Structure 1
Amino acid sequence: MPAKAKWAQLADHIRGQIASGELAPGDKLPSTAQLCQEHGVSTIVVRQAIFALRTEGLVEGVQGVGVFVAERPDGQHQS
């Protein structure tokens, strides 16, 4: 089986942070530049990962401000 794409690995990492509560609804994700540096990936990889998370409804982008963890639409709350 081929290795998972870098963007998918990054998306999994962020998804895990959201699931564990490390990143809570309303929290701002690190900037693209910070994520590139922390994970040793390109801007395109970060953008693809964020796009995937946006498609899943886990994060939402605010133009010129940043990307934030979305509120849970199903009413789930971490306890």
Structure 2
Amino acid sequence: MPAKPKWAQLAELIRGQIASGELHPGDKLPSTAQLCKEHGVSAGVVNHAMIVLKTEGLVEGVHGLGVFVAERSDT
């Protein structure tokens, strides 16, 4: 079985942090540069992961401020 793409691994990690409560609604995610450095990936990998998480409604970007954990709509 082929390894998951790096963007999928990063999205899964952040998804798990949100599910476990490590990241709460309203929390700001690290910057793209920080995530690149922490996980040894390119900005494209981080951006792809963010697009996936935004599509899933887990995070939302605020222009000029960053990416934040979205408020949960299932409560």
Common fold by TM > 0.5: yes
- Structure 1 residues 48-67: aligned runs within 5 Å: 48-67=48-67
AA of the residue aligned to 2:72: R
Aligned to 2:73: 73
3-state DSSP class of the match of 1:29?
coil
Cα separation, 2, equivalents of 1:65 and 1:9: 25
Consecutive unaligned residues in structure 1, runs of 5 or more:
none
For these two proteins, the number of residue pairs brought into alignment is 75
3-state DSSP class of the match of 1:68?
strand
Q: Runs in 1 of length 4+ with deviation above 3 angstroms? A: none
The two structures have a TM-score, normalised by structure 2, of 0.99
TM-superposed deviation, 1:68: 0.2
Cα RMSD for the two superposed structures:
0.4
Aligned to 1:5: 5
3-state DSSP class of the match of 1:23?
coil
The two structures have a TM-score, normalised by structure 1, of 0.94
AA of the residue aligned to 1:2: P
TM-superposed deviation, 1:74: 1.1
